[in-house]
Amino acid sequence: MKVFDHAVVRLLPVVPRGVVRRVAAPYIAGETLGDARRVVAGLTAAGIEATVDVLGEEVTRPDEAEAIARAYHDALEAIEHDGLAANVSVKLTALGAKVDMALCRSLTERVLRDASERGIFVRIDMEDSSMTDDTLELYRALRAGGHGEVGIVLQAALRRTLDDIAALADLRPSVRLCKGIYLEPSSIAFQEPDVIRKSFVACLDALLEAGCRTAIATHDEWLLERSLERVQGLGPDAYEFQMLLGVRIDRGRELAAAGHLLRVYVPYGKRWYEYSLRRLQENPKVAGYVARDMVGRLVPGR
């Protein structure tokens, strides 16, 4: 199976854009804000909340970063206008972190001020390990600057994460805890799936013990079961579950029906192709899964 997954990754650059778009369609709202509004409205009607993400990681020019920031302001306005149960999630590289960190901070603060005026929460995504220190440093600076309604993401795959939780504990941050999808060297990241799962549980325990509001972001059934054990008896202010758009839809509905707050990550934007390829290349297992899923869609009765 692993050989198949890696073979799929090698073939991705020659796969026609139309095929990639067809396969990616369930996992991306679309290219426009209107597409995202439609998807989030459907989730809101079903009693499920959303996190809206504007695609555009690793911009290379200041004007590109400013365009992404404007897109977030438009998204915030739409969320407020439509009365949607949604917040937003931003990537610092999309706001120019690799171009000019001062520009990135300025744009991020503008988004936070706009969101705060509208009563909308903002979460700063975690990216690959080259961005971890910069992301946590900016997060601390934003909190020190009076921005309270902003959260962070931590990845259980990184060996440092328990230490990061301890270092952030004084802030009692709102944290999205995920496994982490980036391919990192073994010197800084756990490699074996079972070890990553154990790290996830240890990190979840540490976050809950520190009184951090924790967004449990996983589709892994074993982790969902362990997480449900740990949040039993906790109120809605202590935790929520998060899933990706188009992934394990029925399981997500079960969680929501059982009274747990479920939030679905809703990405949209014109850079859907780059986003799709990057996510698939970063995780061969997912690439193989999507390839098999595509075959199932294209070959009825398979």
Burial environment of residue 97 by CB neighbours within 10 A (0 to 12, 13 to 18, 19 or more): buried
What residues form DSSP beta bridges with 189?
158
Bridge-based pairing state of the strands 262-268 and 49-54: parallel
Looking up tokens 């013990």 gives 209
DSSP 176-234: EEE---S---TTTB--SHHHHHHHHHHHHHHHHHTT--EEEE---HHHHHHHHHHHTT-
Is 118 a catalytic site residue? no
Is 125 a catalytic site residue? yes
User: Which position among 125, 197, 226, 271 bears the catalytic label?
Assistant: 125
Nearest to 244 by CA among 203, 188, 289, 204: 289
C-alpha–C-alpha distance, residues 74 and 52, integer Å:
11
How many residues comprise the chain? 302
Whether the CB-CB separation of 164 and 202 falls below 8 Å is answered with: no
User: Which position among 37, 176, 197, 279 bears the catalytic label?
Assistant: 176
What residues form DSSP beta bridges with 266?
52
Q: Name the residues annotated as catalytic.
A: 125, 176
